């Protein structure tokens, strides 16, 4: 694994066990999936490129606005093929909804894994099982 990608994976794994807290981005204290990516960004690059406005749990859904996808595409590069550790993964959780769940790939290959934060679980590392993999709509390179 390339050095920069290895650092992203190490940082993402440092967040494991951080409780889930909507709109938060503080290692050990609380974060949501966007907060996890923001925290890893800060560890790798320093200050965030923009201030994140407040958002509700149903953000972007009423207008069917792919705001998160647009923002990621603006600030990150598209990831190259194949999957690589450190890739930022964007998921669409339901077919008719906007893409609004994020994770960071920690292991590629035959048994891929990713770190993500979600309500009721906090930050965890999960297998990128076929049901999760089918939900990926975009991947980005944070290096």
Question: Would you kindly state where each structural domain of the chain is located, as residue ranges?
Answer: 3-51+64-141
What does the pLDDT look like over 80-123, one tens digit per residue?
A: 989 999 999 999 998 889 999 999 999 999 999 999 999 999 99
Per-residue model confidence (pLDDT) at position 26:
98
Per-residue model confidence (pLDDT) at position 2:
62
Looking at domain 3-51+64-141, which CATH architecture does it have?
Alpha-Beta Complex (3.90)
What does the pLDDT look like over 42-67, one tens digit per residue?
A: 999 999 999 988 887 777 666 788 99
* Tokens encoding 111: 């048994």
* Tokens encoding 78: 């598209």
Instruction: Name the 3-class secondary structure at 14.
Output: helix
Q: Say which residues have a Cβ less than 8 Å from residue 132's Cβ, sequence separation at least 6.
A: 91, 114, 126
Per-residue model confidence (pLDDT) at position 58:
74
What does the pLDDT look like over 14-26, one tens digit per residue?
A: 999 999 999 999 9
Higher pLDDT, 61 or 135: 135
Q: Report which of 10, 1, 84 is spatially closest to residue 40, judged by C-alpha positions.
A: 10
Question: What is the pTM for the complete model shown?
Answer: 0.95
Task: Give the Cα separation of 33 and 60 in Å (integer).
Answer: 15
**Contact (CB, 8 A) for 123 and 31:** yes
């Amino acid at each position: 694994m390339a050095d920069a990608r290895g650092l992203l994976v190490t940082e993402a794994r440092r967040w494991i066990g951080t409780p889930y807290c909507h709109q938060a981005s503080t290692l050990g204290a609380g974060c949501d999936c966007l907060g996890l990516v923001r925290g890893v960004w800060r560890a790798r690059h320093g200050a965030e490129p923009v201030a994140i406005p407040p958002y509700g749990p149903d953000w972007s859904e009423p207008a069917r606005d792919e705001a998160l996808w647009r923002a990621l595409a603006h600030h990150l590069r598209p990831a190259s093929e194949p999957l690589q550790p450190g890739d930022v993964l964007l998921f669409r959780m339901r077919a008719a909804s906007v893409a609004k769940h994020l994770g960071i790939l920690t292991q590629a290959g035959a048994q891929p894994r990713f770190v993500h934060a979600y309500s009721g679980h906090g930050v965890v590392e999960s297998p990128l099982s076929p049901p999760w993999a089918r939900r990926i709509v975009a991947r980005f390179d944070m290096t």
